[in-house]
Structure 1
Amino acid sequence: MSATMTGLAGFAALFVLMGLGMPVGIAMLLVGFVGIVSLSSLNAAAYTISGQAFEIASMYDLSVLPLFILMGNLASASGLSRDLYTAAYSWFGHRKGGLAGATVLGCAGFAALSGSSIASAVTMGRVAYPEMRRFNYGSRLSTGVIAAGGTLGILIPPSTGFVMYAILTEQSIGRLFMAGVLPGILLTALFLLVIALIVHFRPAEGPAGPLSSTAERLAASRRALGILTIIVLTIGGIYTGVFTPVEAAGVGAAFALVMLVLRRQARPEVIRHVVLETLQTSGMCFLILIGASAFSPFIALSELPRDAAAMFTGLGLGPYGTIILLLIAYAVLGMFIEGLSLLVITLPIVFPVIMALGFDPIWFGVIMVVVLEMGLISPPVGVNCFVVKTVADDVKLQSVFAGVMPFWAAMMVCLAMLIAFPQIALLLPNAMF
C-alpha cells in the first residue's frame, strides 16, 4: 500500500473509531501510532508519542489553557455571568427583543471569560431562558439566541479554539487573541441586527419587558463591574503589552478567585466543583493535543498534505476559489463532527495548502473558528443546539434548529466580510505586534 493510501486508510479508521464512541484524542493517538509504525518503524512511533506527549504536557505556553478555563469556572460560580446579563437586561429589556439582545451581550461578555461555547450556552441558557419565557418570548427566538450567542465563546478571546490552533500551527497565541476581538464584535452586532429584524417582522417573538428605573440600572451596572474588570485586565493587559497571554490568564483567574471569596461563595463544595470542572476540561484539551501530536507526523509521512496541495492548485480555482471550496467542506463536516475535533484532525492537511496559497495564517485561524462556530449550530449534530435543548426541555429540537438559522445566516455574512476585508481580523494584531 502506498503512503498516500495508508494516510487515507488512517483517516477512515479515525472516523470509524470516533463513530464507535472512542474519544477523539485516544483515536488520533492510536491511529497515529499504528500509522507511523506502518510507514516508518516501531521505534519511531514510540519515540514520537513519548517525546510529543512530554513536550505538550510541559509546554509553558499551554498553561494559558487551564488558567483561562479556571477563570471562567470561577466567574460562573461567583455569579458574575448572571450580573452581566442583569445589567444588559436593565438597559435594553424594555425594548422589543431587548431580552434577546441582552442575552447576546451576556454571551459575548461571558465568552470573554470562559473561552468555551458550550459553557457559554449552558450558563446563559440557565440564566436567560426562564426570563425570556416569563415575558412570553417565542420558543424559537429564545433558544436560537442562546445557542447562537454561545458560539461567541470560541471567537471572542480568550478562546480554546485559538489556543489549539496556535499550538498546532506554531502561531502566536497573543496575535490570535487580538485577531478575534473585532470579528467577535462584528458577529455580536450582526446577531443584534438579526434580533431587530425578527422582532420587526414578528413582534410576538420578542415583546417588550418592563422598564427599569435609573437606580436599578446603576445598581445592576455596579454589580457587573467585576466581570468587566476581569475582561479589561486580561484582554486590555495583553493588548497593551503589560501581560503575556499566560500572565493575563493567571491574573484573571486570581481576580476571579478574589471575587468568589468577596461574594462569600468560596464554600468547599463550590471550590471542589470548580477544580473538578477545570481538570476535566483541561484534561480533555490536553488529550486532544497529545493525540494530534501523534496524528500529525503520521499525516506528514503519508504525504497527504503535499498531494492535497497539488490537487487544490491543480483545480485552477485560484486562491480565493480554493479557500471557498475548503470552507464549504468545513461547513459540511461541521454538521457531523465537533468543532475542536475537526480542527485538530484536518489542520495537518489544510494548513500547508493555506500557506502554499499565500494566505495569512492568523487570518485563516479566525476564518476557521467562525466556520467551526457555524458547525456548532448546524443540524443534525449542532452541539450547542443539543446543549440548549437540555436547558429548554419544553421546546422541540426542531424548533431550536429553526431558531438558529437566522443567526447561521449572520455567520455567513460575517465570514464573507472577513474574506472580503481581511483587515477586520488583522488590524489589531498588526498594530500590537
Structure 2
Amino acid sequence: MTNELIGFLGIVALFVLLILRIPVAISMFVVGFGGVALLNSWNAAESLLASEAFTLASKQELVVVPLFILMGNIASETGMSRRLYDAAYAIMGQLRGGLASATIVGCGGFAALSGSSVASALTMGKVSLAEMDRFGYDSKLSTGAVAAGGTLGILIPPSTGFVIYAILAQESIGRLFVAGVLPGILLLALFVATITLMCTIWPALGPVGPRTTLSEKGRALAGALPILGVIVLTIGGIYSGIFSPVEAAAVGAGLVVVAALLERTLTAAMFWRACRDSVVTTATVMLILIAAHLINPFLALSRIPEVVGNFLAAVDLPALGVLTLILLSYLILGCFLEGFAMLVLTMPIYFPVILELGIDPVLFGVLVVLVLEMGLISPPVGVNVFIVKSVAPKVPLGTIFRGVLPFWAAMGVCLALLVAFPQIALILPNTMFN
C-alpha cells in the first residue's frame, strides 16, 4: 500500500472509532501510534509517544488551561455566575424577550470566566430556564437561547478552543484571545437582535417580564461588580500588555478565590469540587493535545496534507473560494464530530494551505472557532443541545433543535461579516502588538 492510502485508511479508522463513541484522545492515540509504526517503525512510534507527551506537558503557556477552568468553576460553585444573570435580568427583564436576552448576556459573562461552552450552557440553563418557564416563555426560544448562548464560551476569551488552536498552529495565545473579543461581542449582539426580532414578530414567544426599580437594578449590578471586575482586569491586562495570558489566568483565578473568601461564599467542599472538576477537564484537554501530536506526524508521513493542498491548487479558486470550501467542510464535519476532535484532525491538513494562500492565521483561528461553535448546536451531535436537554428533560429534543435554528443563522451572519471585514477580528491584536 502507498503512504497516501495508509493515511486515508487511518482517517477512515479515526472516524469509525469516533462514531463508536471511543473517547477522542484514545481514538487519536490508536490511529496516530499505529500509523507512525506502519509508515516508519515501532521504535519510532514509541519514541514519538514518549517525547511528545513530555514536550507538550512541559509547555508553560498551557498553564492557562487549568487556571482559567478553575476560575470558572469557583465562580459557578459560589454563585458569582448567577449574579451575572441577575444583573442582566434586572436591566433587561422587563423588555419583550428580555429574559432570553438576559440569558445570552449572562452566558457571555460566564464565558469570559470559564472558557467552556458546555459549562456556560449547563450553568445558565439551571439558572434561567425555570425563570423563563415561570413567565410563560415558549420552550423553543428559552432552550434555544441557552444552547446558543452557551456557545459563546468557545469564542469569548479565555477560550480553550483558542488555546488548542494556538498550540497546533504555533500562534500567540494572547493574540488569539484578544482577536476573539470583538467577534464575541458582535455575536452576542446578533443573538440579542435575533431574540428582539423574533419577539417583535411573534410576541407570544417572549412575554414582557416584571419591572424592576432603579434601586433594584443598582443592587443587582453592584452584586455582579466583583466578577465583572475580574473579567475586565484579566482581559484588559492581556490587551494592555500588563499581563501575559499565563499571568492573567493566575491573577483571575486568585482574585476569584479572594473575592469568594471575602464574601464568605466559598467552603472547603466547594473548593474541593472546583479543583477536582478542573483537574478532570484539564487532563482531558491535555490528552487530546498529546494525541494530536501523534496524529500530525502520521499525516505528514502519509502526505495527506500535500495531497489536499495539491487538490485545492488544481481547483484554481481564489483565496476566498478556498477559504469558503474549508469553512463549509468544517460546517459539515461539525454535524458529526466533536469540536476539538475536528480541530486536531483537520489543522495539519488545512493550515499549510491557509499559509500558502496568505490568509492571516489569527483570522483563520477566529473563523474556525466560530464554525466549531456552530457545530455545538448542529444536529445530530449538537453537544450543547443535549446539555440543555439534560437540564430541561420535559422539552422534546426536536423542539430544542428548532429553537437554535435562528441563532445558527445569526452565527452564519457573523461568519460572513468576519470574512468580509477581517479587521473586526484583527484590529485589536494588531494594535496590541504594534
TM-score normalised according to structure 1 size: 0.99
The amino acid that maps onto 2:169 is: T
Q: Distance in 2 between matches of 1:21 and 1:100?
A: 33
Q: Retained in 1: the 8 A contact 2:370–2:415? A: yes
Q: Distance in 2 between matches of 1:177 and 1:162?
A: 7
Q: Does 1:386 align with 2:369?
A: no
Q: Retained in 2: the 8 A contact 1:187–1:414? A: yes
The amino acid that maps onto 2:392 is: A
Q: Retained in 2: the 8 A contact 1:78–1:259? A: no
Q: Distance in 1 between matches of 2:348 and 2:295?
A: 8
Instruction: Map 1:96-115 to 2 at 5 A.
Output: 96-115=96-115
Deviation at 1:266, TM superposition (A): 2.4
Q: Does 1:140 align with 2:150?
A: no
The amino acid that maps onto 1:350 is: Y
- The alignment partner of 1:224 has SS state of helix
Deviation at 1:380, TM superposition (A): 1.2
Deviation at 1:262, TM superposition (A): 2.2
1:146-182 alpha-carbon deviations (Å, 9 max, x no partner): 0000000000000000000000110000000010000
Q: Distance in 2 between matches of 1:255 and 1:312?
A: 49
Deviation at 1:260, TM superposition (A): 2.2
Q: Distance in 2 between matches of 1:404 and 1:16?
A: 28
2:233 aligns to what? 233
Instruction: Map 1:56-75 to 2 at 5 A.
Output: 56-75=56-75
Instruction: Map 1:280-295 to 2 at 5 A.
Output: 280-295=280-295
Q: Does 1:203 align with 2:203?
A: yes
Q: Distance in 1 between matches of 2:249 and 2:287?
A: 21
1:123 aligns to what? 123
1:33 aligns to what? 33
Q: Retained in 2: the 8 A contact 1:77–1:260? A: no
The amino acid that maps onto 2:183 is: P
Instruction: Map 1:256-405 to 2 at 5 A.
Output: 256-405=256-405
1:187-216 alpha-carbon deviations (Å, 9 max, x no partner): 011001100110001101111111101111
Q: Retained in 1: the 8 A contact 2:74–2:270? A: no
Q: Distance in 1 between matches of 2:204 and 2:174?
A: 44
The amino acid that maps onto 1:308 is: V
Q: Distance in 2 between matches of 1:137 and 1:409?
A: 21
1:51 aligns to what? 51
1:157 aligns to what? 157
Q: Distance in 2 between matches of 1:321 and 1:214?
A: 52
- The alignment partner of 1:94 has SS state of coil
Q: Does 1:185 align with 2:185?
A: yes
Q: How many residues align?
A: 433
Q: Distance in 2 between matches of 1:350 and 1:138?
A: 41
Deviation at 1:20, TM superposition (A): 2.2
- The alignment partner of 2:419 has SS state of helix
The amino acid that maps onto 2:140 is: R
Deviation at 1:279, TM superposition (A): 0.6
- The alignment partner of 2:33 has SS state of helix
Q: Retained in 2: the 8 A contact 1:339–1:375? A: yes
2:20 aligns to what? 20
The amino acid that maps onto 1:378 is: S
Q: Distance in 2 between matches of 1:264 and 1:335?
A: 44
- The alignment partner of 1:243 has SS state of coil
Deviation at 1:23, TM superposition (A): 1.1
Deviation at 1:357, TM superposition (A): 1.3
Contiguous gaps of at least 5 residues in structure 1:
none
2:88 aligns to what? 88
TM-score normalised according to structure 2 size: 0.99
How well do the aligned residues superpose, as a CA RMSD in angstroms?
0.8
1:281-330 alpha-carbon deviations (Å, 9 max, x no partner): 00000000000011111111111111110101111122111111111111
Q: Distance in 2 between matches of 1:100 and 1:266?
A: 29
Q: Distance in 2 between matches of 1:265 and 1:335?
A: 40
Q: Retained in 2: the 8 A contact 1:309–1:356? A: no
